[in-house]
Amino acid sequence: MFFPGSRYLRTSTYQVTAPDGRQVTVARPAMAASSSVLGWHALSDGDRLDLIAYQYLADATAFWALCDANGTVVPASLAARPYIAVPPAQRTGP
């Protein structure tokens, strides 16, 4: 259901009933692990989180680790910052 390396890979799921009566499977919110900061990346025009994640973490799908290190769940909010914290690379897969 989730791509390898996803923060949701190890979270449990459960069923809810949507307003139209459909049963929908949802994932429990992934709790951000406290993350130390390796350094800072100065954002410039054209920067993308997947490319920054690949540059520092060797995994383009680990953009969420940048969000965790910066205390946000909304990736687009990082674009408004002049610098973003970069966590140490860690194994994100199973």
Q: Report pTM.
A: 0.67
The SS3 assignment for 79 reads: helix
* Helix (H) or strand (E) run with residue 17 in it: strand 13-17
- pLDDT, residue 31, reads 63
pLDDT tens for each residue of 2-21:
777 677 777 788 999 999 99
Give the pLDDT confidence of 46-90 residue by residue, as tens digits. 899 999 999 999 999 888 889 989 988 889 999 889 999 999 887
The one-character DSSP state at 76 is G
Helices (H), 1-94: 49-57, 63-69
Contacts of 60 (CB under 8 A, 6+ apart): 50, 51, 53, 54
Bridge partners, residue 83, by sequence: 42
- The three-state secondary structure class of 11 is coil
